[in-house]
Amino acid sequence: MPVGVYYAVVAYSVYSCGDAIIKGFGQSLSVFEIGFFIALFSLIPAVFAKPRGERWRDSFRLTHKGLVHLRSFSGVASSTLVTYAFVTIPFAETYSLVFMMPLFITVMSVLILKERVDLVRWAMLALGLLGVMLVVRPGFRDLQLGHLAALCCAFFGATSTTVLRIIAPSEKRVTLIALPAIYLIVVNAVLMAPGFVMPTIPQFGLLAASGSLVGLGHILLIAATRNAPASQVAPLQYVQIIWAIGLGAFFFFEYPGLLAYIGLAVVVLSGLVNVFIDGARTRIAGRFAEYRARRPGSPTDITEVQGPEI
């Protein structure tokens, strides 16, 4: 098994522990103050993740200025909304709504990137939506603003991911790391100022721990994608559902009902099927390309060969 798989398991577990710490603050600090300190402390591990050959002062040399700033704004919105969701609604419900992000990404890929999506993928996304409905059960219970915040977080997260797919090939990696962090720190600093409450020493310790875990998780996830195929890394994100159930029960006495467990299982199943479909297609395309490369008269450089258009 590739070492990247182990990196991914640890990365998503670390993210979940950092999220649990955020949830533990409840309403004692504003979401902007929590976001400010989390972003600040997450920069500590990020300092060690600077790509070789790039300089931090080059972060503001942008190729797609509007799109880079749009991604940074989307990151701020997503982070703030998920923080509010964590402190107001159950852990597992937050994750189930945030995991609607693939649905939004797929819609955006069709409308913006002009990609083609087959019926199987749409069916799996619809199944995932059904799972979320079983967890949240709108119309059968009182929903809170935290549920809307988690849903909006999924939308802004999908926006950030879609924009990243457009700008990543041409922007420096230091730009993609530094600009979102600067946005988070500056915007949260401004918004937290009117109601700022000085954190206690224990709270400072927890904020530092959560921010460092978020930053560490980011580094580990980068290491995972460099050491394992995306088709093996992506399914491991659903480890967070297990952590959400466990941490929610142990620390916050949150126990989902039977329908919620079924819904969470459906969400995980639909996501895994989508990922495995992508992985199978990638392998088929790779093998087809390799076969063509071995035929007499075919290019000898495998990088010059394209697989079937899917």
Contact 87, 23 (CB under 8 A): yes
Q: Tell me whether residue 309 is in a domain.
A: no
Cβ count within 10 A of residue 223 = 18
Q: Tell me whether residue 168 is in a domain.
A: yes
Which residue's structure tokens are 């940074």? 72
Task: Show the DSSP H helices in 137-200 as ranges.
Answer: 145-167, 173-192
Q: Tell me whether residue 147 is in a domain.
A: yes
| Structural domain range at position 96 | 3-304
Helix and strand totals (H; E) in the chain: 12, 0
Token pair of 279 as six digits: 């992985």
DSSP class of residue 172 equals: -
Q: Tell me whether residue 37 is in a domain.
A: yes
Q: Tell me whether residue 310 is in a domain.
A: no
d(CA 76, CA 34): 12
d(CA 152, CA 221): 24
- pLDDT digit of tens for each residue in the chain (310 aa)? 678 888 889 998 999 999 999 999 988 899 999 999 999 998 887 777 666 777 777 778 888 889 999 999 999 999 999 999 999 999 889 998 998 888 888 888 888 888 888 888 888 888 888 988 888 887 667 789 999 999 999 999 999 888 988 888 888 877 877 888 889 999 999 999 998 999 999 999 999 999 999 889 888 887 887 787 766 776 778 888 889 889 999 999 998 888 888 988 988 888 777 767 665 555 554 544 444 455 444 443 322 233 333 3
d(CA 104, CA 143): 21
Count of structural domains within the chain: 1
pTM score above 0.85? no
Instruction: Report helix, strand or coil for 61.
Output: coil
DSSP class of residue 28 equals: S
Contact 108, 183 (CB under 8 A): no
